[in-house]
Structure 1
């Protein structure tokens, strides 16, 4: 499935949630979609848990 189709489906789901459930439902669908995206990337092997939870290097500007 192309990323355009995934974006279309995601946008439609958010639109329906926002229209029928209000702003709270919109935020809930968006948050759960983001979690599902991260879990999917992790299960595909494209993302390591350390990429998310690793502390940022504060000395990058030097």
Structure 2
């Protein structure tokens, strides 16, 4: 699946959550989607957990 299709599915999920569950459900779905994205990138090896917690000055070296 390409990124456009995944983005469309995520947008539809957020739209359904916002319509049927209100703004709180919309925020919950968005937050859990972001967490799922980060975990997925970590499991695929595209993200190093140290990159998240490393100080900004350490990234330039």
| Aligned match of 1:24 | 24
What is the count of residue pairs matched by the alignment?
A: 58
Give structure 1 stretches of 5+ with no counterpart: none
Taking structure 1 as the reference length, what is the TM-score of the superposition?
A: 0.89
Give structure 2 stretches of 5+ with no counterpart: none
Q: Which structure 1 residue ranges, 4+ long, deviate > 6 Å from structure 2?
A: none
Structure with bigger helix share is 2
Two-structure CA RMSD over aligned residues (Å)? 1.1
